[in-house]
Protein backbone atom coordinates (compact mmCIF):
# COMPACT_ATOMS: atom_id res chain seq x y z
CA UNK A 1 0.00 0.00 0.00
CA UNK A 2 0.89 3.66 -0.07
CA UNK A 3 3.09 5.21 2.62
CA UNK A 4 3.27 9.00 2.94
CA UNK A 5 5.80 10.82 5.09
CA UNK A 6 5.48 14.51 5.91
CA UNK A 7 7.98 17.08 7.22
CA UNK A 8 8.31 19.15 9.28
CA UNK A 9 5.88 18.28 12.06
CA UNK A 10 5.82 21.91 13.23
CA UNK A 11 6.68 25.11 11.40
CA UNK A 12 6.71 28.65 12.74
CA UNK A 13 7.05 31.64 10.40
CA UNK A 14 6.64 35.38 10.59
CA UNK A 15 3.64 36.95 8.91
CA UNK A 16 4.50 37.72 5.30
CA UNK A 17 7.15 35.00 5.02
CA UNK A 18 6.79 31.85 2.92
CA UNK A 19 6.16 28.36 4.27
CA UNK A 20 7.05 25.06 2.64
CA UNK A 21 5.84 21.61 3.69
CA UNK A 22 7.26 18.49 2.06
CA UNK A 23 5.92 14.97 1.57
CA UNK A 24 7.26 11.77 0.07
CA UNK A 25 5.25 8.79 -1.14
CA UNK A 26 6.01 5.15 -1.88
CA UNK A 27 3.43 3.97 -4.45
CA UNK A 28 4.91 4.72 -7.87
CA UNK A 29 1.46 4.19 -9.42
CA UNK A 30 -0.12 6.85 -7.22
CA UNK A 31 -1.68 9.58 -9.37
CA UNK A 32 -3.41 12.02 -7.05
CA UNK A 33 -2.00 14.20 -4.26
CA UNK A 34 -4.30 16.52 -2.29
CA UNK A 35 -3.54 18.88 0.59
CA UNK A 36 -5.92 19.49 3.47
CA UNK A 37 -6.06 22.27 6.04
CA UNK A 38 -7.52 21.58 9.47
CA UNK A 39 -8.25 24.38 11.89
CA UNK A 40 -8.55 23.60 15.58
CA UNK A 41 -11.65 21.54 16.30
CA UNK A 42 -12.76 21.55 12.68
CA UNK A 43 -12.89 19.03 9.85
CA UNK A 44 -10.04 18.79 7.31
CA UNK A 45 -10.80 20.78 4.17
CA UNK A 46 -9.27 20.39 0.74
CA UNK A 47 -7.19 23.41 -0.25
CA UNK A 48 -5.38 22.25 -3.39
CA UNK A 49 -4.59 19.05 -5.24
CA UNK A 50 -2.40 17.87 -8.08
CA UNK A 51 -2.45 14.92 -10.44
CA UNK A 52 0.57 13.02 -11.64
CA UNK A 53 0.42 14.44 -15.17
CA UNK A 54 1.06 17.96 -13.83
CA UNK A 55 4.26 19.30 -12.26
CA UNK A 56 2.92 22.40 -10.55
CA UNK A 57 -0.40 23.98 -9.68
CA UNK A 58 -1.13 27.39 -8.17
CA UNK A 59 -4.14 28.96 -6.52
CA UNK A 60 -3.52 32.50 -5.34
CA UNK A 61 -1.02 32.29 -2.45
CA UNK A 62 -0.74 28.50 -2.41
CA UNK A 63 1.03 26.21 -4.84
CA UNK A 64 1.87 22.54 -5.00
CA UNK A 65 4.78 20.97 -6.86
CA UNK A 66 5.23 17.31 -7.76
CA UNK A 67 8.39 15.41 -8.64
CA UNK A 68 7.32 11.97 -9.85
CA UNK A 69 10.85 10.72 -10.32
CA UNK A 70 11.81 11.46 -6.73
CA UNK A 71 8.30 10.65 -5.46
CA UNK A 72 7.90 13.82 -3.50
CA UNK A 73 5.53 16.77 -3.50
CA UNK A 74 5.46 20.05 -1.63
CA UNK A 75 3.03 22.75 -0.52
CA UNK A 76 4.16 26.36 -0.79
CA UNK A 77 2.34 29.19 0.95
CA UNK A 78 3.50 32.71 0.15
CA UNK A 79 2.80 35.94 2.05
CA UNK A 80 1.58 33.99 5.06
CA UNK A 81 -1.16 35.46 7.21
CA UNK A 82 -2.27 34.61 10.78
CA UNK A 83 -5.35 32.87 9.37
CA UNK A 84 -3.04 30.38 7.63
CA UNK A 85 -2.24 28.97 11.09
CA UNK A 86 -3.58 25.40 11.12
CA UNK A 87 -2.54 21.78 10.68
CA UNK A 88 -1.83 20.81 7.09
CA UNK A 89 -2.02 17.23 5.79
CA UNK A 90 -0.68 15.86 2.56
CA UNK A 91 -2.07 12.66 1.09
CA UNK A 92 -1.41 10.21 -1.70
CA UNK A 93 -3.83 7.99 -3.53
CA UNK A 94 -3.41 4.29 -2.68
CA UNK A 95 -4.14 2.61 -6.00
CA UNK A 96 -4.68 -0.75 -4.31
CA UNK A 97 -7.23 0.39 -1.74
CA UNK A 98 -8.63 3.25 -3.83
CA UNK A 99 -8.34 5.48 -0.79
CA UNK A 100 -6.12 8.31 0.43
CA UNK A 101 -3.17 7.68 2.69
CA UNK A 102 -2.37 10.75 4.79
CA UNK A 103 0.86 12.15 6.13
CA UNK A 104 1.18 12.78 9.86
CA UNK A 105 0.50 16.51 9.56
CA UNK A 106 2.36 19.82 9.95
CA UNK A 107 1.30 22.39 12.50
CA UNK A 108 1.91 25.81 10.94
CA UNK A 109 2.02 28.85 13.18
CA UNK A 110 2.15 32.28 11.61
CA UNK A 111 3.41 34.86 14.08
CA UNK A 112 1.90 38.35 13.65
CA UNK B 1 -23.37 22.62 4.25
CA UNK B 2 -21.11 19.79 3.05
CA UNK B 3 -23.87 17.17 2.59
CA UNK B 4 -22.32 14.84 5.12
CA UNK B 5 -23.20 14.52 8.79
CA UNK B 6 -21.84 12.39 11.58
CA UNK B 7 -23.57 11.36 14.77
CA UNK B 8 -23.05 11.56 17.61
CA UNK B 9 -20.60 14.48 17.77
CA UNK B 10 -19.32 13.42 21.19
CA UNK B 11 -19.61 10.18 23.10
CA UNK B 12 -18.21 8.77 26.32
CA UNK B 13 -18.51 5.04 26.73
CA UNK B 14 -17.23 2.33 29.04
CA UNK B 15 -14.62 -0.27 28.18
CA UNK B 16 -16.18 -3.41 26.77
CA UNK B 17 -19.37 -1.86 25.46
CA UNK B 18 -20.31 -1.82 21.75
CA UNK B 19 -20.51 1.58 20.08
CA UNK B 20 -21.91 2.55 16.67
CA UNK B 21 -21.06 5.76 14.87
CA UNK B 22 -23.15 6.93 11.95
CA UNK B 23 -22.21 8.75 8.78
CA UNK B 24 -24.99 10.08 6.57
CA UNK B 25 -24.57 11.73 3.18
CA UNK B 26 -26.98 13.47 0.85
CA UNK B 27 -24.59 13.65 -2.13
CA UNK B 28 -25.26 10.15 -3.50
CA UNK B 29 -21.49 9.54 -3.63
CA UNK B 30 -20.39 5.99 -4.17
CA UNK B 31 -17.26 6.03 -1.98
CA UNK B 32 -17.35 6.41 1.80
CA UNK B 33 -14.51 6.10 4.31
CA UNK B 34 -13.90 5.97 8.04
CA UNK B 35 -10.67 7.39 9.45
CA UNK B 36 -9.40 7.93 12.96
CA UNK B 37 -7.25 10.88 13.92
CA UNK B 38 -4.69 10.67 16.69
CA UNK B 39 -1.85 13.08 17.55
CA UNK B 40 1.28 12.26 15.59
CA UNK B 41 -0.48 9.77 13.31
CA UNK B 42 -2.49 11.96 11.01
CA UNK B 43 -5.58 10.28 9.63
CA UNK B 44 -5.54 6.49 9.43
CA UNK B 45 -7.97 4.47 7.35
CA UNK B 46 -10.20 2.07 9.29
CA UNK B 47 -12.68 0.78 6.69
CA UNK B 48 -14.07 1.95 3.39
CA UNK B 49 -16.93 1.25 1.02
CA UNK B 50 -17.29 1.30 -2.74
CA UNK B 51 -21.05 0.92 -2.64
CA UNK B 52 -23.95 -0.78 -0.93
CA UNK B 53 -22.78 -3.93 0.84
CA UNK B 54 -19.31 -3.50 -0.67
CA UNK B 55 -16.80 -2.76 2.09
CA UNK B 56 -13.15 -3.48 2.81
CA UNK B 57 -10.56 -3.13 5.56
CA UNK B 58 -8.09 -0.31 5.96
CA UNK B 59 -4.78 -0.21 7.81
CA UNK B 60 -6.23 -0.11 11.36
CA UNK B 61 -9.36 -2.26 11.11
CA UNK B 62 -8.86 -4.57 14.12
CA UNK B 63 -11.72 -4.15 16.60
CA UNK B 64 -13.96 -2.35 14.09
CA UNK B 65 -16.69 -3.44 11.71
CA UNK B 66 -18.80 -1.52 9.21
CA UNK B 67 -22.03 -1.83 7.35
CA UNK B 68 -23.52 -0.06 4.37
CA UNK B 69 -27.07 -1.14 3.59
CA UNK B 70 -28.00 2.13 1.86
CA UNK B 71 -25.97 4.48 -0.31
CA UNK B 72 -26.42 7.33 2.14
CA UNK B 73 -25.44 5.59 5.39
CA UNK B 74 -22.12 4.10 6.50
CA UNK B 75 -22.00 2.75 10.05
CA UNK B 76 -18.85 2.10 12.07
CA UNK B 77 -19.13 -0.28 15.04
CA UNK B 78 -16.60 -0.78 17.80
CA UNK B 79 -17.46 -4.30 18.81
CA UNK B 80 -16.06 -4.04 22.35
CA UNK B 81 -14.61 -0.60 23.02
CA UNK B 82 -11.09 -0.30 24.47
CA UNK B 83 -9.18 2.74 25.74
CA UNK B 84 -6.93 2.56 22.67
CA UNK B 85 -9.98 3.41 20.57
CA UNK B 86 -10.32 6.80 22.22
CA UNK B 87 -9.93 9.07 19.22
CA UNK B 88 -11.61 11.46 16.83
CA UNK B 89 -13.38 9.60 14.05
CA UNK B 90 -13.94 11.19 10.66
CA UNK B 91 -16.15 9.97 7.89
CA UNK B 92 -15.39 11.08 4.33
CA UNK B 93 -17.16 10.84 1.00
CA UNK B 94 -15.81 10.98 -2.51
CA UNK B 95 -17.44 11.12 -5.89
CA UNK B 96 -14.23 9.81 -7.45
CA UNK B 97 -14.35 6.97 -9.92
CA UNK B 98 -11.62 5.06 -8.12
CA UNK B 99 -8.71 6.76 -9.86
CA UNK B 100 -8.17 9.40 -7.21
CA UNK B 101 -10.48 12.13 -5.98
CA UNK B 102 -10.81 14.64 -3.18
CA UNK B 103 -12.72 13.93 -0.02
CA UNK B 104 -15.37 15.86 1.82
CA UNK B 105 -15.14 15.16 5.52
CA UNK B 106 -17.83 15.08 8.16
CA UNK B 107 -17.47 17.14 11.33
CA UNK B 108 -16.06 14.23 13.28
CA UNK B 109 -17.05 12.24 16.36
CA UNK B 110 -14.95 12.58 19.49
CA UNK B 111 -15.10 9.23 21.27
CA UNK B 112 -13.75 8.69 24.77
CA UNK B 113 -13.54 5.17 26.18
CA UNK B 114 -13.22 5.11 29.97
For chain A (112 residues), the mean pLDDT of every run of 10, in chain order, is 94 98 94 95 95 90 96 97 97 90 97 94
- Beta bridge mates, A24: A5, A72
Chain A nearest CA to B43, separation (Å) = 6
Residues of chain B found within 8 Å of residue A100, distances taken between Cβ atoms: 33, 45, 103
pLDDT of residue A37: 98
Say whether pLDDT at B67 is over 80.
yes
Chain B nearest CA to A66, separation (Å) = 16
If phi over 0 gives left and psi between -120 and 50 gives alpha, with beta otherwise, what is residue A83?
Answer: alpha
More confident residue, B47 or B96: B47
pLDDT of residue B40: 83
More confident residue, B48 or B101: B48
Q: Which pLDDT tens digit goes with each residue over B79-91?
A: 999 999 999 999 9
Say whether pLDDT at B39 is over 80.
yes
pLDDT of residue B101: 75
Contact B34, B48 (CB under 8 A): yes
pLDDT of residue B38: 94
Contact A76, A93 (CB under 8 A): no
Chain-chain contact of A6 with B102 (C-beta, under 8 angstroms): no
What is the Cα–Cα distance from A88 to A42, expressed in whole angstroms? 12
Top residue of B30, B47, B101, B102 to mutate, by most chain A CBs within 10 Å, is B102
pLDDT of residue A52: 83
pLDDT of residue A101: 95
Chain-chain contact of B41 with A104 (C-beta, under 8 angstroms): yes
Residues of chain A found within 8 Å of residue B96, distances taken between Cβ atoms: 98
Chain A nearest CA to B82, separation (Å) = 23
pLDDT of residue B98: 60
Residues of chain B found within 8 Å of residue A49, distances taken between Cβ atoms: 102
Contact A104, B42 (CB under 8 A): yes
Residues of chain B found within 8 Å of residue A105, distances taken between Cβ atoms: 42
From A45, A46, A104, residue closest to B40, measured CB to CB: A104
pLDDT of residue A42: 95
Q: In what order do the strands lie in the sheet with B19-25?
A: B4-7, B19-25, B73-78, B64-70
Amino acid sequence: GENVEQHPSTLSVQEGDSAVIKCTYSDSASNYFPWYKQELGKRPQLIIDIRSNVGEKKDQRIAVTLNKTAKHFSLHITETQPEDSAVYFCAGWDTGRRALTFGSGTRLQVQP
Amino acid sequence: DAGITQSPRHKVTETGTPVTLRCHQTENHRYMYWYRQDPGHGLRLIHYSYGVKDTDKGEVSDGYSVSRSKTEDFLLTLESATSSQTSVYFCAISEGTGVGGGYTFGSGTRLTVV
